[in-house]
Amino acid sequence: MLDGIMTGLTTAVMPFNLMMVVLGCFAGTFIGMLPGLGPISAVALMIPITYGLDPASGIILMAGVYYGAVFGGSTSSILINAPGCASTVVTAFDGYPMAQKKQAGKALALAAYSSFTGGTIGALVLLFAAPALATVSLSFQSSDYFALMILGLTAVAAFSGKGQVIKAMIMTVFGLMISTVGTDMMSGAPRFTFGSIDLIDGISFLLLAMATFALTEVVMTVLKGQHREEEPEMDMSSLGSMKLSKDEVKEIAPTVARSSVFGFLVGVLPGAGATIASFLAYGLERNLASAKQKLQFGKGALRGLAAPESANNAASTGSFVPLLTLGIPGSGTTAIMLGALIAYGIQPGPRLFIDNPDVFWSVIISMYFGNLVLLILNLPLIPYISRLLAIPRPILIPLILFFSITGVYLVSFNTFDIHMMVFITVAAIFLKLLEFPMAPMLLGFILGGIMETNLSRAMTLYDGDLAFLWERPLTLTIMIISILVLLMPLLARMFQRPAKKPASDEEVSYEGEG
């Protein structure tokens, strides 16, 4: 492991890669601050840029953007009560009241310290957990992989929020359907190409990701008329002190430690990402607080801000565990990264840390640098970065649209791709209006090809018999977990029914899952 850490360290400290971390954190913070655009959109916008870089630098840049976007989302939650993404919705509960009390500086600093601690604890646990899990998963066979893909897909559907499970499963199947468009890898037969040469290679991952997450999200802001809203007024002179007193540090230290570990564990679960972690950590902290402290929640409680901030960053780090070790993403954002890695010709999974140790270790090491950059560089620069929010939306929106479109065009130089993006965007807007989540579709699309290959291998080995699903204990275990995960929302509803709980804050859609 020490060799690996050294490999990662030497790759991550290369000046160019350090620059990528800094650049990624800045770009992520800015994009994350824009209401409506979360980490998924931020990372999607970066894909075309990373295509020109080597895999390690590319994934380091994307990881930087990821943290930056989560942090940027917190900033807009605190300053203007407009969460940039779902995972920072809870940050606004106590962060914005603090800003109203002229303690915005303190709230931002607290968010940064909590994020830093959460991210650091997460990165440290990842340092030990990922190689251990990867070693175990080296014994996996094609049937186990197939079962893992099923687990990844069902987990995303199961964690998609109340009343959304069937819709998320439909979207997963839809994503799998899209992945079958193009030439069949095994027989060479064209599938669903309708005689078009442009569809022979299938639909590119970049195109689908950009159309559903960058283009659609921006167009949705126009559809809702958000571009006409007045630019947020932020009085930077009344930020207040960024210092925390000793007592305050003492008060939040246990919260940060608890929420970090808790957030990391939630993040590791495939499908559960930063959003769920932040909501659960907030709920946990409120339950642990005394009756007197409970009253403070929602009115600017330090613990109420520290808990979700530590948890969402730790969960962001945690979601890299299933990605790097098993090749199944823990969240929508890591799903995009998985797609980008596959596009590089790198297959994330158990063999990643043997075949591409530089990518594996440098991502882990650069996560720590990313958190450091956010704390040292971003925090003091927040007053300046948030000025970018003052750029009028009517100017900003066409620019983001332009970057999304040309990002795809400059890879293929085929204008058919732009027409295809428009078509997919129209379909995505329609589906969003019907409240269908987009992340499961992208995950289904990304995992579709690998799933089909492994299913084909397993079925050929067993001569068409489905016994491979239960003959190997490991495959059977993973399949049972998948079924349990799938049944979880149903069971939860059955157990909750007699209690008739009133609607709570946690009843949110995790569509913008970070």
Partner 1 sequence: MTLTKDHIGGLVFLCLSVAYGYYAGQIPMFPGDEFEPFHAQTLPNALAWAGGLLSIALLVTARRDRQHRLSLGGYDFQLVAYLLVLVVIFAIALEWVGFLLSTLIFLIGGYWLLGVRQIKTLLIASVPFAAGIWFVLSQLLEIYLAPGRLFTMIFGG
The contact set with partner 1 (CB under 8 A) reads 52, 163, 166-167, 169-170, 173-174, 176-177, 180, 184, 186-187, 189-192, 219, 222-225, 227-228, 392-395, 397-399, 401-402, 405-406, 409-410, 413, 415, 418-419, 421-422, 425-426, 429, 431, 433-436, 452, 455-456, 459-460, 462-465
CB of 451 to partner 1, least distance (A): 8
**Among candidates 150, 154, 165, 41, which has minimal Cα distance to 436?**
165
The DSSP secondary structure of 385-401, one letter per residue, reads: HGGGGGS-HHHHHHHHH
What minimum distance in Å lies between the beta carbon of 62 and partner 1? 20
Residues 6+ apart with CB under 8 A from 88: 70, 73, 74, 76, 77, 278, 308, 312
Angle at 307 between CA 88 and CA 291, to 5 degrees: 120
Smallest gap, in angstroms, from Cβ of residue 182 to partner 1? 11
**Closer of 224 and 387 to partner 1 (Cβ):** 224
Residue (22 or 178) nearer to partner 1, CB = 178
CB of 90 or CB of 176, closer to partner 1:
176
3-state secondary structure of 37: coil
Helices and strands (H, E) in the chain, number of each type: 24, 2
Q: Measure CA 409 to chain center.
A: 25
Nearer to partner 1, 48 or 514 (CB): 48
- Give me the least distance between CB of 132 and partner 1, in Å please: 33
Neighbours of 455 (CB within 10 A): 17
Q: Quick one: CA torsion of 217, 221, 227, 233, rounded to 10 degrees?
A: -90
- In 3D space, the residue among 304, 284, 310, 272 whose CA is nearest the CA of residue 112 turns out to be 310
Nearer to partner 1 by Cβ, of 462 and 481: the residue is 462
Beta carbon nearer to partner 1, 214 or 277: 214
In sequence order, the β-bridge partners of residue 183 are 190
CB of 434 to partner 1, least distance (A): 4
State the Cα–Cα distance between residues 193 and 206, nearest whole angstrom. Answer: 19
Select 244 or 418, whichever has its Cβ closest to partner 1.
418
- Minimum separation from the CB atom of position 193 to partner 1 (A): 10
- Shortest gap between Cβ of 339 and partner 1 (angstroms)? 19
Closest to 389 (Cα-Cα) out of 129, 79, 15: 79
Residues 376, 352: Cα–Cα separation, whole Å: 31
Residues contacting 275, CB < 8 A, separation 6+: 85, 86, 87, 89, 312, 508, 510, 512, 513, 514
Q: Which is nearer to partner 1, 9 or 429 (CB)?
A: 429
Q: Shortest distance, CB of residue 435 to partner 1, whole angstroms?
A: 6
Compare residues 239 and 424 and give the one whose CB is closer to partner 1: 424
Minimum Å gap between C-beta 333 and partner 1 is: 25
For residue 370, the one-letter residue type is G
